[in-house]
């Protein structure tokens, strides 16, 4: 990185594909002023017109899907089929909120004593979004669609490695007819971010990132009395009970773990398996992992692309090595291939126990970790033996028992039964403990950045 630009590196080759200019603090402040000006108009814009803009955004996403997906794969490294699916999902979230936001924001009216009460939800202002590289379009749109439909404006600090995606999103909103400045990307350097949070026009902050980043942003937001939503990391337990459908459980766990080269906050990171079915499950997982090849992510048959950055691969490999040194058994992978780019093979660690990095830390990459559970209660104990609480899953043929464990035992924000967790515009998404607070998506997602105002009229 130079002093005035970021390098955009193709993870598949390790080569720089372009330089993206950095803006200084003064330019960032001017963009925030423009967003504030846009908000003063947008907040008064009728809901049906906001919906029209979001529908046009969805149409542009689908019209440009090939070029946008190619940008996503080039900057982040995911297989092109996954990039295409990501762009399509962004269109879906725009259409979902365009259709349902009016009902979600409907006024409530009732009478108390000698007064008429009206509860209204009104936009806060300019929202500052700090977004990661792993889903460079989806992470942004799942925050932007509800925030903008609620009447807010948004400025985006995207990850330095995916700034082209951030610029594309700004262009899409402009081309869809949104007021100039309603959505703007801020390609700023990290030291300038606290100044954005402190800016008087910023009324809320939303971050998707690590728990370390969350602590920093929460501290800055708190010091400046700004509302924030934090979606942080996960060390997600996937519990396989004795009566599970082993083939389905293995297929779902591997699919979750390998999606996006394992770089998913809600992936199946710790596979906690009942002793009686452990060997069968391990063999089923191993066979599926062995069938996955690292291939050029631009090709439609690619299932596993490179990791997004060299430093992320180095961190993952170090976690694997330290886990093996602590007693984990390496059954597959775990060797950095001799080829250009940031590739890492499908890897399987067995006999993973508390105290090892593979159990205690989030492994962000294509590494599956197996842990034996001696009983159902032991499995739940292991599942909750983490400071993180984003997602989890339970596999059992007793659906009622699985639902009860998911609802009442596993301490996480999102838990699936007999499937892997995924984000969905219709369902609230977020975590507990060190995985953050607040919710995205669903009705709660649009309520995060509104002023819940009580209007009391005497009669």
Is residue 206 in a domain? yes
- Point out the catalytic residue in the list 90, 165, 228, 265: 265
Q: Please give the pLDDT value at position 296.
A: 98
**Residue numbers of the domain that contains 315:** 237-424
- The pLDDT of residue 395 is above 60: yes
Residue 183 shares a structural domain with residue 273: no
With the CA atoms of 23, 25, 30 and 34 taken in that order, what torsion angle do they form, in degrees rounded to the nearest 10?
80
- Given a cut of 80, whether residue 3 has pLDDT beyond it is no
Residues 256, 137, single domain; the answer is no
User: Cα–Cα distance between 301 and 303 in angstroms, integer?
Assistant: 6
221 with 266, same domain: the answer is no
Stretch (H or E) spanning 455: strand 450-458
In this structure, the answer to whether residues 160 and 82 fall within a common structural domain is: yes
From 75, 86, 95, 231, active-site residue: 231
Per the annotation, the verdict on 90 as an active-site residue is: no
Regarding whether 408 and 453 lie in a shared domain, the answer is no
pLDDT for the residue 1: 38
Place of tokens 């886990």: 323
Backbone angles phi, psi at 79, to 5 degrees: -55, 145
In this structure, is residue 430 part of a structural domain?
Answer: no
Query: Is residue 21, in this structure, part of any structural domain at all?
Result: yes
The answer to whether 72 is a known catalytic residue is no
The share of the chain scoring above pLDDT 90, in percent, equals 99
- The residue behind tokens 């909103």 is 173
Give the list of residues 6+ apart from residue 314 with CB closer than 8 angstroms, or none. Answer: none
The H-assigned helical ranges of 259-370 are 278-290, 310-325, 357-360
Q: What is the pLDDT of residue 2?
A: 41
The domain that holds 396 is classified in CATH as 3.40.309.10
Is there a single domain that holds both residue 104 and residue 223? yes
Which residue, among 361, 348, 173, 146, has the nearest Cα to 258 in the 3D structure?
A: 348
Residues 86, 30, single domain; the answer is yes
Q: How many CA atoms lie within 13 A of 338 on its CB side?
A: 0
Would residue 366 count as lying in a domain?
yes
Band (pLDDT 50/70/90 cuts) for residue 356 is: very high
Give the bridge partners for 369, in sequence order: 270, 349
Mean pLDDT of 175-194: 97
Does residue 262 sit within a domain? yes
> Do 293 and 415 belong to one domain?
yes
Are residues 350 and 370 in contact, defined by beta-carbon separation less than 8 angstroms? yes
Domain CATH for 128: 3.40.605.10
pLDDT at 439 over 70: yes
What is the signed CA dihedral for 213, 215, 217, 220, rounded to 10 degrees? -150
Q: Is residue 370 part of a domain?
A: yes
11 falls in which pLDDT band (50, 70, 90)? very high
Dihedral over Cα of 226, 362, 257, 389: its sign: negative
Please tell me the total count of domains within the chain. Answer: 2
Is 429 within a domain? no
Give residue-wise pLDDT tens across range 400-430.
999 999 999 999 999 999 999 999 999 999 9
Chain segment 50-98, per-residue pLDDT in tens: 999 999 999 999 999 999 999 999 999 999 999 999 999 999 999 999 9
What's the pLDDT tens digit per position in 280-334?
Answer: 999 999 999 999 999 999 999 999 999 999 999 999 999 999 999 999 999 999 9
Averaged pLDDT for residues 249-254: 98
Mean pLDDT of the chain: 97
Q: Give yes or no: residues 324 and 453 share one domain.
A: no
Do residue 218 and residue 288 come from a single domain? no
Same domain, 323 and 447: no
Residues 156 and 222 in one domain: yes
Residue 348 located in a structural domain: yes
Phi-psi region of 177 (alpha: psi -120 to 50; beta: other; left: phi over 0): left
């Amino acid at each position: 990185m130079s002093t005035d630009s970021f390098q955009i590196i193709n993870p598949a080759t390790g080569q720089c594909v372009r330089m993206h200019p950095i803006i200084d603090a003064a330019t960032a402040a001017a963009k925030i002023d423009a967003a504030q000006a846009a908000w003063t108009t947008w907040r008064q814009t009728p809901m049906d017109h906001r919906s029209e803009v979001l529908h046009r955004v969805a149409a542009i996403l689908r019209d440009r899907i090939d070029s946008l997906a190619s940008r996503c794969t080039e900057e982040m490294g995911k297989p092109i089929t996954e990039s295409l699916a990501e762009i399509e999902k962004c269109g879906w979230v725009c259409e979902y909120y365009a259709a349902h936001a009016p009902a979600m924001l409907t006024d409530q009216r009732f009478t108390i004593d000698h007064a008429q009460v009206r509860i209204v939800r009104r936009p806060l202002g300019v929202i500052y979004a700090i977004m990661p590289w792993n889903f460079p379009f989806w992470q942004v749109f799942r925050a932007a669609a509800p925030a903008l439909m609620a009447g807010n404006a948004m400025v985006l600090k995207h990850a330095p490695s995916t700034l082209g995606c951030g610029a594309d999103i700004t262009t899409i909103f402009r081309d869809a007819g949104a007021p100039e400045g309603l959505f703007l990307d801020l390609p700023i350097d990290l030291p300038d971010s606290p100044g954005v949070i402190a800016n008087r026009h910023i009324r809320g902050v939303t971050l998707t990132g690590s728990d370390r980043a969350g602590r920093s942003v929460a501290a800055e937001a708190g010091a400046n009395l700004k509302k924030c939503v934090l979606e942080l990391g996960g060390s997600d337990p996937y519990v396989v009970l004795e009566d599970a459908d082993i083939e389905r459980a293995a297929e779902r766990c591997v699919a979750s773990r390998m999606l996006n080269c394992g770089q998913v906050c809600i992936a199946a990171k710790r596979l906690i398996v009942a002793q009686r079915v452990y060997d069968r499950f391990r063999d089923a997982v191993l066979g599926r992992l062995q069938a996955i090849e690292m291939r050029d992510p631009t090709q439609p048959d690619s299932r596993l692309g490179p990791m997004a950055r060299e430093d992320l691969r180095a961190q993952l490999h170090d976690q694997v090595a330290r886990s093996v040194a602590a007693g984990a058994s390496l059954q597959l992978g775990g060797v950095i291939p001799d080829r250009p780019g940031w590739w890492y093979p499908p890897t399987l660690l067995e006999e993973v126990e508390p105290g090892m990095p593979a159990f205690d830390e989030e492994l962000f990459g294509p590494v599956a970790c197996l842990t034996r559970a001696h009983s159902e209660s032991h499995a739940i104990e292991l599942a909750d033996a983490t400071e993180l609480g984003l997602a989890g899953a339970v596999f059992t043929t007793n659906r009622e028992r699985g639902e009860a464990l998911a609802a009442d035992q596993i301490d996480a924000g999102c838990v699936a039964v007999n499937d892997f967790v995924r984000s969905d515009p219709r369902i609230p998404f977020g975590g507990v403990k060190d995985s953050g607070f607040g919710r995205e998506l669903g009705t709660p997602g649009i309520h995060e950045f509104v002023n819940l105002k009580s209007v009391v009229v005497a009669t």
